[in-house]
Amino acid sequence: TKPRDFIRKQKSDARLARILKHKYPKAAESLMLRYKKYNGEVALAKKYESAGKAVIIAPDNCCGMKTLTKDKKRLEEMYAKGYKDAEAITPFLKP
């Protein structure tokens, strides 16, 4: 889960794509385009949210966590934030 204003950059996937390129060219190609797909989907979700057709639940910050964090305290902080942020769903679902 990333903050709502997070913009994925190609650079983050390029190294792995180079490693995979020779043995798994399709996977490498997908990785090189991953940032475009992610950013496009986020833009679409924001468009739907503006139109009242969707609600985006995203943390305002990641509590200093990385993708593979094992820090129990930080994981619990993120869980609590997510649980609280999920309260935004109820008003969205009510007619």
**Taking a C-beta distance cutoff of 8 angstroms, is the pair 4, 62 a contact?**
no
- How do the domains of the chain map onto residue ranges? 1-54, 57-95
Whole-angstrom CA distances from 61 to 2, 5, 19 are 8, 10, 31
For 2-56, write each residue's pLDDT tens digit.
888 889 998 889 999 999 999 999 999 999 999 999 999 999 999 999 999 999 9
| pTM, 2 dp | 0.76
